[in-house]
Structure 1
Amino acid sequence: MTTRIGIILGSTRPGRRGRMVADWVAETGAGHLPEVDFAVVDLADFDLPNLDEPQPPASGRYSKDHTVAWSETVRSFDGFVFVTPEYNRSIPGVLKNALDFVYGEWNNKAAGFVGYGLHGGTRAVEHLRLVLAELKVATVRSQVALSLLGDFTIDDPVLAGRFTPGAHQTRALATVLAETVEWSRVLQPLRDGVRA
């Protein structure tokens, strides 16, 4: 069975840099681990409102079409790589909202991280790790921290600019991807309901 890794693009802001980063993650994954199915999951494509389900997500009882579509998408993956900017020392609200919409669909999966920002998105990733722990997601230790000052060429502060990651970032990403895939595979028996 093919391992499927969703690359969750955690920003929907116009002019975001995240799409370039998510595409880089997908291309790097395809080059390093061709037997794995990597797919970009853009939160902008789901248009999730602020959480509007009357039942708690842990119940798995959804009344809204957008929740069902999001649930099916999350459920379809074995693990995730989260691509997130850092907003005010944390993750974007749209990413937190998307995480909160469903619960069981996240359980017993693995996650890696690619953060970006003035400080490499490290504080956003730290917050994201806490949220994912509550969702029963195993997070890998390695992460990629992209600096707006070193990994992007920005001619205009409003525009995304060009993404120019160094070779060391590609090596770091290869490690994150390998660990995420390995942990996703190790957790498969738990997702299948088989306990040792």
Structure 2
Amino acid sequence: MPRLNVIVASTRPGRIGRRIGDWFLETAVRHAAFDDVRLVDLAEVGLPFHDEPYHPSEGRYVHRHTREWSGTVAAADAFVFVMPEYNYGFSAPLKNAIDYLYDEWRYKPVGFVSYGMTSGGLRAVQMIKQVVTTLMMVPVNDSVPVFLRQALDDDGELTPDPGREAAAKLMLDEVARLAAALAPLRVPA
């Protein structure tokens, strides 16, 4: 079965993204479509602003952090981005992490767990789809929007929500289907 990387895209101190990422990781493990589900927190990865001298399509990585990031992304068959919406867009750390690499993303599905106050992050999801399709990733249509005003309790913890669970299952079903369908394209020629 394929490997799923759940990438937490916010690096902001005091962020809610890690809590949402932890919830989704548990949900993905219970879903059981992926043999290996890993949480990758960009705050812990700590990539500097893109600092490689060669174009990512060349795969000639000078820095250790890039080689490690390349290995993490290359080992995955599918991704879910847990991403905030900042000013109608996605976060700069997520764009930076994507731009470090090229071939490692190709022919892999990506799902989105987005969050924000008013839109639940849906505007950021629409915006990032242009980026991931350019890298030949396949975004799934179903997503999991988290409307923070309704989703958090007084202590800032994520409250249980059957609708959110159902949306996560639907999205994971599609990510798993696409991971299997795209697998032959990921085999090196």
If the length of structure 2 is used for normalisation, what is the TM-score? Answer: 0.96
1:14 aligns to what SS in structure 2? coil
Structure 1 CA distance for aligned equivalents of residues 19 and 12 of structure 2: 13
What code does the residue aligned with 2:103 have?
Answer: G
Question: How far off is 1:18 after superposition?
Answer: 0.8
Q: For residues 56-110 of structure 1, what are the alpha-carbon distances to aligned partners after superposition, in whole Å with 9 as ceiling and x for unaligned? A: 1111111011100100000010000010000011111011000000000000100
Structure 1 CA distance for aligned equivalents of residues 81 and 159 of structure 2: 19
Structure 2 CA distance for aligned equivalents of residues 143 and 165 of structure 1: 17
Q: For residues 42-66 of structure 1, what are the alpha-carbon distances to aligned partners after superposition, in whole Å with 9 as ceiling and x for unaligned? A: 1112111111111111111110111
Residue aligning to 1:153:
153
Residue aligning to 1:188:
183
Q: How does 1:83-122 map to 2 (within 5 A)?
A: 83-118=82-117, 119-122=119-122
Q: 1:146 touches 1:165 (CA, 8 Å); kept in 2?
A: no
Q: 2:5 touches 2:79 (CA, 8 Å); kept in 1?
A: yes
Shift in alpha-carbon separation, 1:122–1:34, aligned structure 2, 3 A: closer
Q: Say which of 170, 173, 182 aligns to 1:175.
A: 170
Structure 2 CA distance for aligned equivalents of residues 16 and 46 of structure 1: 16
Shift in alpha-carbon separation, 1:162–1:187, aligned structure 2, 3 A: same
Q: How does 1:1-196 map to 2 (within 5 A)?
A: 2-33=1-32, 35-118=34-117, 119-155=119-155, 161-193=156-188
Question: How far off is 1:178 after superposition?
Answer: 1.2
- Runs of 4+ aligned structure 1 residues displaced above 6 Å come to none
Structure 1 CA distance for aligned equivalents of residues 16 and 153 of structure 2: 11
Structure 1 CA distance for aligned equivalents of residues 150 and 8 of structure 2: 21
2:113 aligns to what SS in structure 1? strand
Question: How far off is 1:154 after superposition?
Answer: 4.4
Structure 1 CA distance for aligned equivalents of residues 159 and 136 of structure 2: 34
Structure 2 CA distance for aligned equivalents of residues 6 and 193 of structure 1: 21
2:38 aligns to what SS in structure 1? strand
Task: Point out where structure 1 has 5 or more consecutive residues left out of the alignment.
Answer: 156-160
If the length of structure 1 is used for normalisation, what is the TM-score? Answer: 0.92
Greater share of helix residues, 1 or 2? 2
RMSD: 1.2
Q: 2:4 touches 2:34 (CA, 8 Å); kept in 1?
A: no
